[in-house]
Amino acid sequence: MDITGRDPLFDDDEEDPELQNQSEFVASKEFLVYLIDAGAEMLLPFDTKKGSFVQVSYLQSVLEAVEENLKQRIIGRDDKVGICFFNTIQKKNIQEANGVYVWSELKDLSADLIRSFSTLHENFQKEVGSQIHRPAGARENPLYDALWVVQAMLRSGTSKNVAKNVMLFTNNDDPFGDVDASVRQDMRRTTIQRAKDAQDLGIGIDLIPLSRPGEDFNLAIFYSSILKMEVDDEDGAQYLLAAANKFEDLKLKLRKKLYKKRTIRKMKLTMVGGTEIGIRTYALVRPSVPASHVWVDSRNNLPLKTERSFICYDTGALMAEPLKRFEEFQGKKVVMALDELTKIKNVTNVQLQLKGFKPMKCLKDYHNLRPPTFIYPDEEAVQGSYAAFIALHRAMLQQNKFAVAFYGSRASSQLVALVPQEEELADGLQLEPPGMHLIYLPYADDIRPTEKYHICSEASVPRASKEQVEAAAAFINKMKLDSWSVFDISDPAMQRHYAILQAIALEQEEESLLEATDTTLPDSKGIMRANSAVQAFKDAVYGPLHDQEEADAAAERAKGSIASQKRKAAAEVACKEAQNYDWGELADTGKLKDLTVPELKLYLTTHKLPLTGKKELIINRILTHLGK
Amino acid sequence: MARNKETLVVLLDASVIMRPHLHVALQSLMSATGVVVQLMFNKADEVGLVFFGVADTKNDLNKELGGYENVVVSRPIAIVDEDLSKCLEDVPEGTVASDFLDAIVVGIDMIVKKLAQGKKGNIRLSLITTTENSIRDPDTGTVEEQVDNIAKQMSEQCIKLEATIVRIGQQTPFLDSKTQQKNEALLRRFESQAQAEVSIMESSMSLLGAMKPRNVTPTTLYRGDLELTPSMTVKVWVYKKTAQEKFPTLKKFSDNAPASDVHATREVKMDTDYKSVDNPDISVPPEQRTKAYRYGRNYVPISTELMETLKFKTEKGLKLIGFVPVSAMRRHYYMKEANMFVPEPGHTKSILAVSALARAMDASHQVALVRCVWRQGQNNVVLGVLTPYVATQLNRADGFYFNIIPFADDIREYPFTSFNTLPEALQPSEVQQKAADNLVHMLDLAPAENREMLQPDGTMNPILQRYYNFLHARALNSEADVPPIDEALHSIVEPDPELLSENSFAIQQFCTQFPLTPNFQKEKGRKRFWRERVKDEEVPLEIKDEAAMDVGPISFSSLVSKQVEEVGITNPVQDFEVLLARRDSSEWVPKALQGMKKIIDDLLDSAYSGNTYEKALSCLCALRSGCVVQQEPLEFNIFLRKLATKCQGKRLNDFWERVVREMITLISRDEAPDSDVGSEEAAAFLTSQREALQEEPQDEIDEMELLLGEAI
């Protein structure tokens, strides 16, 4: 199975609009500036919880996190990033502000950028330099200047389809702590104003506060006013927790193409009475495929242009894309126009017609064809959609029912199940959004009677006894996965693909490819724990002598059948007897013809040559084999 | 392909009671015996057709032994051809008596006579009956014994029975339901002894889907071990359970060859050429092409060979990862068509192991996660879930259904607004909730055990059915039109009228409780049109004026805080003013101007007897004053000239007259120094235009041309 292979839904000339949309899913852009504090505090050793001996500074771990994040982001979507440090010795920015160093202007992500960034920490102090001591009485405000610089970096691009963000890394919760009290208030005010201005321009400021050992990052001192949040203790703690997670998430190894939340289709759910509820559909689960590729000329790596042409098979003439199709039927060519084919498929003008409701148990496990589509009410299209949708949603959940509807689209019209999904939250994060999943149901034509393929015609099929079922239950109990989530397992083939791409693009060593672990493999420790239960289950269903029986059977198979055993024995005898003749000499002296056919056949058997033919042919075969 | 060959004898009840449903049954047979499909794929399946419950008698057994009356062999077992469809159209006259046992015996006799002893293959008897007529008692013994005898003979001959009991609509009162029950029991008796299956069809639609049109030869996807742990394996075979019957792919048709050429293939070859950018004449041979993958700004070329050596490799095999509660395995994780795991047939140990596992999983509500590699060297792994299939029939083995579930990579996490946090006004009231509860309760498609409407397993694909009907009709007559979908299949697509009338109160209640008012302005068609026009006309807006990135403090007027981003249709004038007032980017002014022009155009385009003129006029005034303030006189002047051309002497002439009346003139140099007209000229524009027009009525001028001409 090729991982790029996508099951075509309805193999036809028309493209499925849904799939078309997917290719259009060019991710939303994000313009992001990593704004990193390079001040003295950041050089403190970072408390690595795992107790490793090498102590890494805050700055370095931020650099590492950003590097991982860049590698992740380059696969994820078409973002532009810039990297800027503040509290630096060197300055580099168009505003010529002191203590601000723009290491990279906002630009498309590229392999070069990541490569040079990955070596930055080695000579950071030489190239950029951390400002250890603030010059006494300085009126500079690197944070203020940095925000200004960053705002300028982010000015290009319309804000409509681009999210502009700043990710601010610092472990200093009191940036104006060592400033003269006389100017502190002023600095504080202007900096807040600057941040506010940036936010008004549509720039989001995302603070990643790093707590120093022994003390939590105190948002209340300054940063809460930038983040536009009222801080009481609880919120602050929650924010810190979320931020810590975010920092860890930056280092995630999972490479995944990200998609913008995007409506696939806006439509109406037509109720049985004819009233319509506005809904929008979304793709929440779709098989991921490797990022797009282009063909290049291998001599110069320049992209190639593809040209498609249609040629009439009979006349060899070049033609426009034909608008007619045909099918061979009874030796005739039955011609249909494309619009007739469209007409055949168009069985309804209603987008989603509700048919009724069924208890959940009617939805069988095999009633599935492709990934579902998520639906959510659309108040914008039809007023009152929320109320009607929510009421139905609740009623269905409460009565444990799903809705059956007919889904009409140009590509495939079919029955669908609308399965209500309750919102599920964990730690304030939405695990499952509220709405309904639209599940595509098969027709009778699509369901195979697999259960009946091996019907036992005489007697009944063996069934597990009560004891055997109990043994199985004990085994299942031992093999339970605790708190399993669908996010636990990533696709090893996709991760490998991205790892290869990254390794080649960044000219990494090939060993880096070996790291990736295949999370799909069963956990061997868990299996060890289940060992006794496995043995009990095995004994219960296979009998205690199973392994021995299997070994015997394997040995038996190795020996082969009785006929082949005979043949083997005969060959051995032949081998022995053939050794009594000096074939080479017999051949040289032309005495082969003096031997009888059974004698000659000894040679053939020994060398596994065909035994057929007349004596003459056999002698020739022997001579050929002897190379004479 | 001989091994695919099928022999089917259809036993169709044509008695008086069955008559009303005969059309559907025949339609079903048409598809079931797959006349069209068979002909299409040149299959050599054999079909025989027997009518029973008819006035005539015509069968071999009757000739040889007597009895077996009211059974007519309409067509002996023969390869499917056009004749079959004729036989299906030519139904003999019905009568009251219909004895399906007689029909079954006749069917068996036909098969035995036609086929040599011990012949393998798929041999089926398909019985369609109402079971509303009683069975004649046999001369010796009981009916039950007779059934047992027949069943025994059938299993010796490897003949399968598919019985379809038709019970459409309300049962007619004069029928003895005891007869029905008795007959059903007789048919069920077959189920336990021979390979038989009884299904009850309660609607014409499900009758239509009762028979599978195409019998696919089962092929396994995988045969081998399912590794529960390294120390314990089970032998399983994996088959497809659902596989979408695709709409056929037709060949492209070329009419280049003369119509008289009978040997013409009519085919079209499609060529894809790869050409280098610098020399478009040369096509690059395949060996010189390399795939390059996108990596940020770069494309990274990776040769197929390198990719092949580096990429993920797998060993064939199925491994159990563990068990999870069924509640954690959400139904919407199922990604593709389902498969089925069955224990290796005949391998008792595996049958027992699967049976024990399936039953234990079923009882403890657990499902199994498995990692699958179907073939050696397959370059990905499949993650799936096994759910138990616990067989109810004694002659079937227990097994598992298998569905592919997503990896972390395949899930997109989009946030959605929680229903609970929505404002009260958007939430359903208590009365509304009751109406919805009632609707969900009443509109029940599965009101009783064994009674389920629109069951996927019995619902035919109306589109495929329509396609084959069309193909058949077109083959006979090249002028044939696309047929409407079959009457009986309407109930798949449209709401069931019966269900509607039964529950009209609940439906009515729901409709009145929930006022749903569509927002026509936001409708899709119009929006798209709009967007396209923007594309056509609009010069891309780029911010060139970098000085506009004012570093000074930004005023936060109440207008800005509303964050209007475009000129909307509801409050265009206000939006426009807000946008002009926004200072956080220089893009807003051109955007506001463009947006306003669009709105005016749009208002006029959608005008119906002047209903939008008032609004359009106020927009035009606002646009004019906006252009004066922003010192963009050309923007307005060009627009007004365009508007003049658009309106004068045409449908919108009355609007232009109002413009003249309101004295909305061009912007003169007095108002804005950059203007292209003086004050006199500006004032004269309105009148002169009128005169010019009166002199020679203009033809419609291409708007774009006009615009460009003026801009230069």
pLDDT value of residue B389: 93
Residues A464, B398: C-beta atoms closer than 8 Å: yes
| Window B:683-702, CB contacts with A under 8 Å | none
**Which tokens is A50 given?**
């795992």
Comparing CA positions, the residue from A585, A589, A617, A582 lying closest to residue A603 is A582
Q: What is the CATH number of domain B520-711?
A: 1.25.40.240
Q: What is the mean pLDDT of chain A?
A: 79
pLDDT value of residue B193: 67
Residues A284, B332: C-beta atoms closer than 8 Å: yes
pLDDT mean over B480-488: 78
How far apart are alpha carbons B395 and A526 in whole angstroms?
36
**Which tokens is B54 given?**
């008819």
pLDDT value of residue B338: 93
Q: Which residue has the higher pLDDT, B212 or B541?
A: B212
Comparing CA positions, the residue from B662, B572, B588 lying closest to residue B623 is B572
| Window B:343-372, CB contacts with A under 8 Å | 345, 348-349, 351-353, 355-357, 359-361, 363-364, 366, 369, 371
pLDDT value of residue B217: 73
pLDDT mean over A555-570: 73
pLDDT mean over A204-208: 82
Residue B531's pLDDT band, with cuts at 50, 70 and 90, is: very low
Residue of B nearest to A331 (CA): B40
Residues B276, A304: C-beta atoms closer than 8 Å: yes
How do residues A401-424 score in pLDDT, each as one tens digit?
A: 999 999 988 777 889 999 999 988
Count CA atoms within 13 Å of residue B321 on its CB side.
22
Strand order across the B289-295 sheet: A293-297, B289-295, B298-302
How far apart are alpha carbons A543 and B605 in whole angstroms?
84
Give the range among A465-479, B15-29, B339-353 with minimum mean pLDDT: B15-29
**Which tokens is A397 given?**
């959940």
| Window B:459-478, CB contacts with A under 8 Å | 459-464, 466-467, 470-471, 474-475, 478
pLDDT mean over A392-397: 92
**Which tokens is B332 given?**
């919407």
How far apart are alpha carbons A453 and B120 in whole angstroms?
15
Give the range among A247-256, B372-381, B651-660 with minimum mean pLDDT: A247-256
Q: How far is B654 from chain A (nearest CA, A)?
A: 33
Q: How far is A592 from chain B (nearest CA, A)?
A: 49
Residue of A nearest to B297 (CA): A110
Neighbours of B671 (CB within 10 A): 19
How far apart are alpha carbons B590 and B541 in whole angstroms?
7
Q: Of the candidates B267, B299, B407, which has its C-beta nearest A490's C-beta?
A: B407
pTM tops 0.90: no
B214 interfacial to chain A (CB closer than 8 Å): yes
**Type of residue found at B672:** A
pLDDT value of residue B544: 35
> From 3.40.800.20, 3.90.25.10, 3.40.50.410, 3.90.76.10, which CATH number describes the B2-208 domain?
3.40.50.410
| pLDDT over 60 at B448, yes or no | yes
pLDDT value of residue A366: 93
How far apart are alpha carbons B479 and A335 in whole angstroms?
10
Q: How far is A66 from chain B (nearest CA, A)?
A: 16
pLDDT value of residue B388: 93
How do residues B120-129 score in pLDDT, each as one tens digit?
A: 567 778 888 7
| pLDDT over 70 at B118, yes or no | no
The b-or-e profile of A81-97 (16+ CB within 10 A means b, else e) is: bbbbbbbbebbbbeeeb
Give the highest mean pLDDT range of B31-40, B143-152, B311-320.
Answer: B311-320
| pLDDT over 90 at B341, yes or no | yes
Domains defined for chain A, CATH in brackets? 28-250 (3.40.50.410), 261-290+308-452 (2.40.290.10), 562-626 (no CATH)
Q: How far is B134 from chain A (nearest CA, A)?
A: 29
pLDDT mean over B426-438: 89
Q: Which residues of A touch B289 (CB under 8 A)?
A: 295-298, 304
pLDDT value of residue A231: 52
What are the C-alpha distances in Å from A376 to residues A388, A413, A436, A564?
A: 12, 20, 7, 68
Of all residues in chain B, the percent with pLDDT exceeding 70 is 78
Q: What are the φ and ψ backbone dihedral angles of B584, each rounded to 5 degrees?
A: -75, -10
Residue of B nearest to A328 (CA): B40
Q: Which residues of B touch A313 (CB under 8 A)?
A: 254, 265-269
| pLDDT over 60 at B690, yes or no | no
Q: How far is A379 from chain B (nearest CA, A)?
A: 9
Q: What are the φ and ψ backbone dihedral angles of B340, each rounded to 5 degrees?
A: -135, 135
How far apart are alpha carbons B403 and B380 in whole angstroms?
16
**DSSP reduced 3-state for A378:** coil
What's chain A's Rg over C-alpha atoms? 36
How far apart are alpha carbons B573 and B570 in whole angstroms?
9
How far apart are alpha carbons A251 and A71 in whole angstroms?
9
What are the C-alpha distances in Å from A235 to residues A107, A219, A238, A239, A425?
A: 35, 10, 5, 6, 18
Q: What are the φ and ψ backbone dihedral angles of A186, each rounded to 5 degrees?
A: -65, -45
Q: CATH fold of B222-227+235-244+318-410, please? A: Ku70; Chain: A; Domain 2 (2.40.290)
pLDDT value of residue A599: 84
| pLDDT over 50 at B578, yes or no | yes
Q: Are A405 and A418 in contact (CB under 8 A)?
A: yes
Of all residues in chain A, the percent with pLDDT exceeding 90 is 8
C-alpha torsion sign, points A364, A370, A371, A375: negative
How far apart are alpha carbons B704 and A246 in whole angstroms?
52
| Window B:421-450, CB contacts with A under 8 Å | 422, 426-429, 432-433, 435-437, 439-441, 443-446
Task: Tell me if B2-208 shares its fold with B520-711.
Answer: no
H or E, element range at B343:
strand B339-343
Q: Which residues of B touch A525 (CB under 8 A)?
A: none
pLDDT value of residue B174: 43
How do residues A213-264 score in pLDDT, each as one tens digit?
A: 777 777 777 887 777 655 555 666 777 777 777 777 777 666 666 666 677 7
Q: Which residues of A touch B353 (CB under 8 A)?
A: 464, 472, 537, 541-542
The b-or-e profile of A357-376 (16+ CB within 10 A means b, else e) is: bbeeebbbbbbbbbbbbbbb
Q: Are B149 and B185 in contact (CB under 8 A)?
A: no
**DSSP reduced 3-state for A167:** strand
Neighbours of B689 (CB within 10 A): 19
How many residue contacts between A and B have a Cβ separation below 8 Å? 706
Residue of A nearest to B244 (CA): A446
Q: How far is B586 from chain A (nearest CA, A)?
A: 11
Q: Which residues of B touch A446 (CB under 8 A)?
A: 242-245, 337, 456, 461
How far apart are alpha carbons B472 and B638 in whole angstroms?
61
| Window B:22-51, CB contacts with A under 8 Å | 36, 39-40
How far apart are alpha carbons B482 and B469 in whole angstroms?
9
Statement: B419-513 belongs to CATH 3.30.460.10: no
Q: Which residues of B touch A315 (CB under 8 A)?
A: 254, 256-257
Q: How far is B678 from chain A (nearest CA, A)?
A: 36
B567 interfacial to chain A (CB closer than 8 Å): no
Residues B396, A451: C-beta atoms closer than 8 Å: yes
Residues B242, A148: C-beta atoms closer than 8 Å: no
- DSSP at A135: P
Of all residues in chain A, the percent with pLDDT exceeding 70 is 85
| pLDDT over 50 at A583, yes or no | yes
User: Could you tell me the residue ranges of all domains in chain B?
Assistant: 2-208, 222-227+235-244+318-410, 419-513, 520-711
Q: How far is A622 from chain B (nearest CA, A)?
A: 41
How do residues B294-339 score in pLDDT, each as one tens digit?
A: 887 778 888 888 888 778 888 888 999 989 999 888 899 999 999 9
How do residues A31-51 score in pLDDT, each as one tens digit?
A: 888 888 888 778 877 765 555
Give the highest mean pLDDT range of B21-25, B149-153, B262-266, B502-506.
Answer: B502-506
Q: Which residues pair with A278 in a beta bridge?
A: A268
pLDDT mean over B22-43: 60
pLDDT value of residue B423: 84
